Amino acid sequence: MRSSWVGIGCALLPALFAQSARADGPNQVEVTVLEARDWLRPGADHLAISREIPQSLPTDSAQISALDAPRLVLSGLGATPGALQLGTYSSAGALLDLLSNPPLTRAPCPPNSSSHDCWSTLPILLTPDKLDREYAAAKGRAIEAALGGELRVEYARRVVAKFQIGAPRSAAFAPYDRLSAKLRVRILRVTPGGAPAIGGDSASAIRIARAEIATASKLWSQCGVDLEGPKGAEIEVVDPPPPELLAIGCDSGLPASGGFVSFALADRRVRVPTHAGESPLVVADRVARAIRALGLRAWVSPNQRTSAGVAGAVDVLARSPDNAPIAIRALPNAELSNDATLSVCLGEVELGNGLSHFVESDAAAGTLEERALVKAFDDGDPSTIDVFIVPSFDQSGRIGESFIDDDGSAIQNTVIIDRAAVRAGPRSYALAHEIGHILLDMPGHPDDYGVDQSSALMDADAADASVFGPRRLSLDDCERALRESGPTARIPILKSWPFSQREPAKRATSAR
């Protein structure tokens, strides 16, 4: 699932940029980047994060020269170069990592260079995290880097060059320095006022969730994507919603035969007639009008048809005038619907026994419990990725799922993971993987219908916490994410984020 390491990776494929700088003193020190066999123009562009598995360098110098990885070429060092140090910094300017005294060898000077005495580093690996950086095969030439940050070159304790770190270096990404996404994260309590799905309390739950997002963001930095964005993810600890959703038609979606839909809402009884031949959507509209007649708010939300249904169920969500949740209840000794063919179901979220999750037959619509959960917190913005962290799913083996942007789907761009997904950590990178389904607009997995690549982030079943585990994104993956979810997509989940744009204070987090 992962390919061999070929240097700084596809992130730098077309051509890396070169930047020259001078140090005060008797010698003029120039730093240029050599990518494969191409010399790059000073100040033309940025570096990018590696997407390749760290690997030992080939012994053949010609093969080393052909690697698609940046080598720093320095002139003005004299016959016996002194101490060289590479440092990476976060976008906020904090020191991230240091690589001291990387090996230098004699090298040809760049064209039009005023010097005839140049030195070169080995191909440098800019890694997304410490796991790649610490791998033995990359020792001495790997350094952890951050999207939006810098690589600074110091010689004789003076900074002689700075390189910003951004999106992959391909023609598709040429207009963008980096990209950002907006995440809204809801950590569910097991019961109202109870313990959160992760952590011992709200503060620790938010802390764990933020760390999980940061980890996923490091992996997606391979594609120049920052999942935290300029303002940071919005994170809340919330109670499971009350039963505030009615599914008209349930899973069958049959038309009405004639009867009544009856329920209690805000201490008021609601009784809505149904007529033979009416579709679930017609009845749902009538139910919504009856709720609004009480001075309340109501939304009608159609769903896609399940494989066993005649038509899709139509959900009706009720709220108070100030948009506060209102519980819907069945009347004593009465069914929600006495219509012989048009069934009505109450959307209840009971997390104590695990969240009921979709299977192949109802994947397009989601289960009633999933819809009741997701629609209760819907902000109406399909360009936001909504993430829900629940205690567990109701069947073993499921730790995460996602709803992609599909025509006619009432749940879009939504991820649900459970406590086990967070605990699995780097063995599966469940959050990054599920977000991948959304950004790539990919409902399946490449290994479902092709060659298994256990090192690919989008592998279906890999579980490996090493550098060979499911953590790699190819240039094809990145360019697909840009096409399907980038700034020019139908729903632009990924926004352009120039280096020059200031980074405001991160969004506050809360519990409710």
Distance CA 471, CA 437 (A): 14
Those residues of the chain that have pLDDT short of 50 are 1-26, 505, 507-508
Cβ-in-10-Å burial (0-12, 13-18, 19+) of 348 comes to middle
Distance CA 123, CA 66 (A): 10
Given this model, what pLDDT does residue 486 score? Answer: 97
Question: Helix 475-485 and helix 430-440: axis angle, to 10°?
Answer: 60
How many contiguous H segments (helices) and E segments (strands) does the chain have?
Answer: 9, 28
Backbone angles phi, psi at 80, to 5 degrees: -130, 90
Nearest 5 degrees, angle CA 188-CA 192-CA 196?
35
Given this model, what pLDDT does residue 34 score? Answer: 81
Comparing CA positions, the residue from 10, 82, 91 lying closest to residue 49 is 10
Comparing CA positions, the residue from 421, 428, 414, 365 lying closest to residue 391 is 421
pTM given for the model: 0.88
